[in-house]
A and B are shown apart, each in its own frame.
Chain A
Amino acid sequence: MNSVILVAGARLQAVLLLVFSAYMMLRGHNAPGGGFIGGLIAATAFVVYAIACGTEDARKALRFDPGSIAGAGLGIALIAGIMAAFWGDALFTGQWLFIGATEDSKGIPLSTVLVFDIGVYLVVLGAILSITFALEDAV
């Protein structure tokens, strides 16, 4: 497909979808969203981009091999789970740090749970894109 409108639209849309995916992932703990959904949205961004501009360009835009992204995600999730060992807890027990917490607010919450969710995000993104790119290369 060689449509200028589609290419221009897809670029803009991909950026928006990527930002949105990060937002969905981060809000996941308290509102609908999370790593799974975030990863799917991010994948959609690249799939749209690939349809408009071709898989070659989409790969370049992604910078990393999708398989490596998925693998790294799995590794990050595993590390997040193992980190509980430093506090002497069972595997995958969430660990929390509240920066600037006061009586009223919990400040900025940081947790291994978030790290785990980032891992999920990357696995979903990488897995879907490696299938999509391979499929589009094949046909």
Chain B
Amino acid sequence: MTPAGLIPVFIAGSLFVWFAQMVPVIGGGDTLRYVWEWVPSLGVNVSIYIDGLSLTFALLITGIGALVMLYSARYLAGHVHQARFSLYLTLFMLAMIGLVTSDNLLALFVFWELTTITSYLLIGFNHDTAKARRSALQALMMTGIGGLALLAGIILIGTTAGTFEMSEINAMDGVLKDSVMYLPIVLLVLAGAFTKSAQMPFHFWLPNAMAAPTPVSAYLHSATMVKAGVYLMARTHPSLAGTDFWLWTLTIAGAVTMVFASVMALRQTDLKLALAYTTLMALGALTLLLGNESGYTITAAATFLIVHSLYKAALFLVVGILDAQTGTRDANSLFGMARALPITAMAAAIAAFSMAGFPPFLGFIGKELKYAGAIAVASEPIFVAGAVLISSALMVAIAGIVSFRPFWSKSGEPIPNVKEAPWPMLVGPVVLAILGAFFGIFPETLATTLVNPTVAAIIGNAEPAKELKLWAGVNLPLFLSIATFVLGFTIYAFKQQLRTILIGMTTRGPSFDNGWDKLMAGIASGSKALTRMIQTGVLYHYMVVTFGTALAVLAVTLWFRSTGIPDMGFPQVELWDWLVFLLVLLGAILTLFTNSRITAIAGLGVVGIGMAMIFILYSAPDVAITQLLVETLVVVLFAAAALKLPHLTPEPLRKRWLDAIIAVGMGVVTTIILLKVTNGPIDRELTTFFETASWPEAFGQNIVNVILVDFRALDTFGEIAVVLIAAISIFALLKSKPEEDNQ
């Protein structure tokens, strides 16, 4: 193992220890908060807030992170890009820690997006396969769209509550629930949470994300990142939960996802994909549980969160070992591998017992609590309990498929010459599986340290968490558990038949994944068509559209927003004014009717110089000089280009009616606007300020220049930057070769 593989293990391990020493404080009911102001004018702080919820997540992230990184140090040993992999994984871990410890919602959003980006990099780690690239992009787009919705939701929360600090918002009772923005906020936040946590109908990216190396699947797409959505729902729970809308949205989305995913899991023969769908099921269950406010359901959610992360990460790592040691992870080719892989088989068995929910493992307590919570859902206990029953029974069957059959089944021949995995790859699954068993036997150790403070954080008040017990007496959850096992074993027994039926059903029906491809292809072809329509490449079209739009907007505004043309009487016009007017008119006529480009340009120049003379007549020497110089340069530049262009062949006048309408229309509209502006009262406050302040404060008598370089220097700076950018663009256009343009 190389340093590139081991440094992340060290980082994750140290962070785990650092978070672990906070357990006594947080378990005692306290919370920790540190604040650094980052962008105080926008209310963006780097604020760390650690309560039970953050700490539970942080411990899962760093603890599982350390084990997964140790595993991958060996799993990817010798890979060309091992260092890159370690870097991505470490960055992901840090982003995830930031996400769960940030109190400021904007900071949370930044970390949220960082996890999306690192997830993209990790799914696409095997970038030489098209499937990995597609899956990575799909995950990025799905969670990215959700991320944008979340950002909008966060901004709404911030403007509604007046702060972005979640701990403060949760402390303000009902500040979001009673606001008119409640519904948009919930919709936007849930859009973020559902895409990240792969709830129906946004679920399809998660199974595809299994294109990533197995440690990534175990870490990101099972134990941590996909739970970010769950974290968000839990974090905003005190402020957003408690309404019918929240309850029903989460319950229905969670229940549908849970049942759909567990059925789909049974269909898979690739062990990793089967696990991916069971992860979906777990995320659905967590969403379902977070819909409620009762102590039972939230305790169930907090416990199941920990249970699931432990067993699911263990099982993913086990599948990774099977894949690495035997070369396959197809459920139909792996039988009786327990003799060759004894330690892996033991770890798989313990984790699977927890997943199936057998006593005395932690999964049993989690399942009992889920039933108790489902029954506690006041509105529709039968619907919810039924969904939990079906999915839990399927979990029993799938636990059998994933960890019983490959190791213990005698239905087929074991693959020969398989050696047990090296120790770094075994540590992870063994430790995680044993923890599941340990917490099952001593549930109070988990309850007092992590579950109770987490429940307190999610509910947002002091309502005590329900006790974690192995034996809660003979009650309805116990009977439901027994029903689960019976149903689960039955499904396992008939799995081949069921799978055949499922494959028949799912291959015929429409698939979300294909729908995604169609959507992407539609967007691409739609934007191509739009581009072809807008970007004709003909300068004339651009001019018509630009000025036509300007004319329409101005004319419509004038028509609806103002009354009549102001009566100004005939103005006093001096002889000079008449001469300039005639000059401009002549220049314009010359431009319109000439057949020579050079003459047309000269005509335009005459118009420009006429304008400059008007500026001089009305005492604006700076503007006049600039106009004159620009006019000169433009004529020179145009003339240089015109030398190489063919002669003008002007269209017959009757074909130029559109140009005439736009030109005359612009002239009329501009005239009316100018008349109205000069006719109304003019606010001279700024002019007066510049006149009085220019000499004493800025030591300049030329007010125009003083405004440019002093009062409004920042604007000028922006303008000269634009001048430079324009120059670079024109330069690039002129220097690009025509062959390249034609492509």
Contacts and interface: CB of A to CB of B under 8 A. Distances in A.
Contacts of A96: 699
A29 B735 CA distance: 38
Interface in B684-708: 698-702, 704-706, 708
Given A35-B709, A73-B720, A73-B724, 10 more contacts: A28-B702, A29-B702, A31-B702, A34-B702, A34-B709, A43-B633, A51-B636, A113-B713, A116-B717, A139-B640
A112 B657 CA distance: 54
A44 B724 CA distance: 17
Contact of B720 (A34, A43, A119): A119
A37 interface: yes
A51 B730 CA distance: 20
Interface stretch (B73-81, B259-267, B403-411, B621-629): B621-629
Contact of A92 (B629, B630, B706, B714): B714
B636 A47 contact: yes
Q: Contact residue range for chain A?
A: 35 or more
The interface centre, meaning the residue of A30, A41, A109 with most chain B CB atoms within 10 A of its CB, is: A30
A28 B707 CA distance: 12
B605 to A, nearest CB: 14
Contact of A37 (B626, B636, B699, B730): B626
26 contacts: A28-B709, A29-B705, A32-B622, A34-B705, A37-B629, A40-B626, A41-B629, A47-B636, A74-B720, A92-B713, A94-B698, A94-B710, A113-B700, A120-B708, A120-B716, A123-B723, A126-B724, A126-B727, A127-B727, A130-B728, A130-B731, A131-B730, A131-B731, A134-B730, A135-B730, A139-B643
Contacts of B324: none
B720 A134 contact: no
The interface centre, meaning the residue of B622, B637, B717 with most chain A CB atoms within 10 A of its CB, is: B717
A49 to B, nearest CB: 12
Contact of B629 (A28, A44, A74, A135): A44
Contact of A81 (B633, B713, B734): B713
Contacts of A70: 723-724, 727
A138 B720 contact: no
A44 B633 contact: yes
A27 to B, nearest CB: 8
Nearest to B735: A134
A106 B726 CA distance: 40
Interface string B714-743: 101100110110111011001100000000
Contacts of A113: 698, 700, 709-710, 713
A36 B723 CA distance: 11
Interface of B: 621-622, 625-626, 629-630, 632-633, 636-637, 640-641, 643-644, 698-702, 704-706, 708-710, 713-714, 716-717, 720-721, 723-724, 726-728, 730-731, 734-735
Contacts of A44: 629, 632-633
A116 B702 CA distance: 16
* 9 closest A-B pairs by CB: A127-B727, A40-B629, A92-B713, A32-B621, A29-B700, A134-B734, A139-B644, A34-B705, A30-B701
A77 B399 CA distance: 69
Given A37-B625, A71-B724, A126-B727, A109 B699 contact: yes
B633 A34 contact: no
Given A36-B626, A67-B728, A124 B723 contact: yes
A81 B640 CA distance: 37
Nearest to A119: B720
Contacts of A135: 637, 640-641, 730, 734
Nearest to B733: A134
A37 B734 CA distance: 26
B629 A67 contact: no
Nearest to A27: B702
Contacts of B704: 34
Contacts of B734: 131, 134-135, 137-138
The interface centre, meaning the residue of A44, A94, A111, A128 with most chain B CB atoms within 10 A of its CB, is: A94
A67 B727 contact: yes
B700 A123 contact: no
A94 B724 CA distance: 23
A41 to B, nearest CB: 6
A136 interface: yes
A102 to B, nearest CB: 16
